[in-house]
């Protein structure tokens, strides 16, 4: 996206809805929004008023109302045009951890050990990672006009395979994308390693054979 911006793509009319934030955060903690600002927002011309996020510094008694207001804000915007997702080791999308229901909306959730371990680099160590997060729900994601999930690296291969080739189930939240009308998944070969067409390409007649798969 940054490269496209450098080639002339404008983000001035883009509204960015942040999918999740760690909770609780101290005021000095960067969190997800801080990372986005450093790695993306500061490099394009998105207007500050067009960045929509739930702060991780809310008082606990404010969270329920803030989550309901977030859903209303998304509806008032006309819904989400493009939902950009990653996938966690547990098959989570945003912070919808395994067990999340497909009709879930924005809410406070407890993070599992995998999610906290993945965030340890951001916070310095696992013990410093907040135990919770505020996340948009699976139903919120599925209502998006278009969904794009991206995954790179062999550590994503197992959850990607579960999401794509096993039945849709709350045990793997990303499998809910099977129910979406316009979902796409972009993978490198390592993240696709456990998919049948990559691990056993001879069983898939439509497979495009390439040198890497022939050697494998």
Q: In what order do the strands lie in the sheet with 82-85?
A: 82-85, 146-151, 183-187
Mean pLDDT of 78-100: 97
- What is residue 9's predicted lDDT score, i.e. its pLDDT? 84
Residue 53, both tokens: 């996020």
Q: Which residues are catalytic?
A: 97
| Sequential DSSP letters for 21-65 | EEES--TT--HHHHHHHHHTGGGS---GGGEE---TT--GGGHHH
- What is residue 157's predicted lDDT score, i.e. its pLDDT? 97
Q: 144-190, pLDDT tens digit by residue?
A: 999 999 999 999 999 999 999 999 999 999 999 999 999 999 999 99
Q: Is the pLDDT of residue 207 over 70?
A: no
Q: 109-125, pLDDT tens digit by residue?
A: 999 998 999 888 888 89
- What is residue 148's predicted lDDT score, i.e. its pLDDT? 98
SS3 129: coil
Q: 15-45, pLDDT tens digit by residue?
A: 999 999 999 998 888 899 999 999 999 999 9
Q: Is the pLDDT of residue 81 over 80?
A: yes
Q: 193-204, pLDDT tens digit by residue?
A: 999 988 887 777
Q: Which residues make Cβ contacts (< 8 Å) with residue 74, sequence separation at least 6?
A: 17, 52, 80, 136, 140
């Amino acid at each position: 996206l940054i490269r496209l911006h450098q080639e002339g793509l404008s983000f001035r009319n883009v509204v960015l809805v942040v999918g999740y934030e760690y909770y609780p955060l101290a005021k000095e903690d960067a969190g997800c929004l801080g990372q986005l600002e450093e790695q993306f927002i500061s490099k394009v011309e998105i207007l500050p008023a067009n960045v929509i996020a739930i702060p991780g510094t809310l008082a606990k008694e404010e969270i329920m109302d803030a989550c309901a207001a977030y859903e209303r804000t998304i509806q008032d915007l006309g819904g989400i045009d493009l939902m950009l997702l990653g996938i966690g080791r547990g098959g989570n999308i945003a912070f919808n951890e395994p067990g999340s229901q497909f009709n879930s909306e924005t809410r406070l959730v407890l993070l599992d050990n995998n999610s906290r371990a993945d965030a340890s680099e951001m916070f310095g160590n696992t013990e410093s990672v907040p135990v919770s997060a505020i996340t948009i729900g699976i139903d919120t994601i599925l209502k998006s006009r278009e969904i794009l999930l991206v995954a790179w690296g062999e550590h994503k291969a197992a959850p990607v395979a579960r999401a794509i080739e096993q039945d849709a189930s709350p045990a793997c939240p990303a499998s809910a994308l099977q129910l979406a009308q316009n979902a796409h998944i972009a993978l490198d070969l390592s993240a696709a390693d456990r998919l049948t067409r990559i691990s056993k390409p001879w069983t898939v007649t439509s497979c495009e054979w390439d040198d890497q798969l022939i050697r494998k």
